Amino acid sequence: MNFEVENLPYSKDALAPAMSEETLNFHYEKHHKGYMTKLKAAIEGTPDAEKSLEDFIKGASGGNFNNAAQVWNHTFFWKGMKPGGGGGAPAGNVADLLNKSFGSYDKFKEEWIAKASAQFGSGWGWLVLDGGEAKIVTTSNAETPLTSSAKPLITIDVWEHAYYIDHRNDRAAFIKVWLDKLVNWDFANANL
């Protein structure tokens, strides 16, 4: 396992004004890196330290699972945002999949906002491929589709630390900004 958090795929100010540099400083530097620090301390020098992060997550439980899954989920989240050209309706295979599974991008967007907003407490909203169909699922805390048969395509972090600096307690506002200005559909197409 690589005991380093991957670098962000852009500078910390690249998503502004949709996501502020201050948010990235706290979210990436404190939260994301903090999960790796705890994981590293727990498993360094053990046989688990030789596994890939994905393999470790599939067999872990408790605090080790939580820290490992949060590292993976956050890395996936960062890659799923695109500075200066993210957001809006997708093109390509993801667009076709959303039209097939939801009827239209607008219907997908409506369901995405509703489900991600309704996630009780901390967690994640995911667009997954499951049985050849696109589905929106939410997971609590550190849970991840990696432990299921579904293939994650894109995710949004709906823990308060993802949006509180920029949007205070308005999770729905953050989700809308993420869809309109940040989501990286190229990343989702590559995952598909």
Please check whether residues 72 and 96 belong to one and the same domain: no
What residue ranges of the chain have pLDDT lower than 50? none
Q: Where are the alpha helices (DSSP H) in the chain?
A: 21-24, 33-43, 53-59, 62-79, 92-102, 105-118, 164-167, 171-177, 185-191
Task: Check residue 169 and give left, alpha or beta (phi > 0: left; psi -120 to 50: alpha).
Answer: alpha
Q: What is the pLDDT of residue 53?
A: 96
Q: What is the pLDDT of residue 93?
A: 98
Per the structure, how many domains does the chain have?
A: 2
What does the pLDDT look like over 38-65, one tens digit per residue? 999 999 999 999 999 999 999 999 999 9
Q: What is the pLDDT of residue 2?
A: 81
* Residue 46's CATH number: 1.10.287.990
Give the whole-angstrom CA distance, residue 5 versus residue 8: 9
Question: What percent of the chain has pLDDT above 90?
Answer: 97
Q: What is the pLDDT of residue 167?
A: 97
Q: Which of 56, 79, 102 is the last residue of a domain?
A: 79
Please check whether residues 100 and 186 belong to one and the same domain: yes
Instruction: Please name the residue that has the structure tokens 């957001």.
Output: 87
Q: Which of 54, 79, 104 is the last residue of a domain?
A: 79
Q: Which of 189, 190, 178, 187 is nearest to 87 (CA)?
A: 178
Helix (H, G, I), strand (E, B) or coil at 95: helix
Q: Which of 83, 42, 85, 45 is nearest to 65 (CA)?
A: 42
Give the whole-angstrom CA distance, residue 137 versus residue 52: 25
Helix (H, G, I), strand (E, B) or coil at 147: helix
Q: What is the pLDDT of residue 78?
A: 98
Q: What is the pLDDT of residue 1?
A: 85
Determine the structural domain holding residue 65 and report its residue range: 21-79
Please check whether residues 120 and 161 belong to one and the same domain: yes
Q: What is the pLDDT of residue 76?
A: 98
Please check whether residues 70 and 138 belong to one and the same domain: no
Q: What are the CA-CA distances from residue 140 to residues 75, 76, 84, 178 (Å)?
A: 17, 16, 30, 19
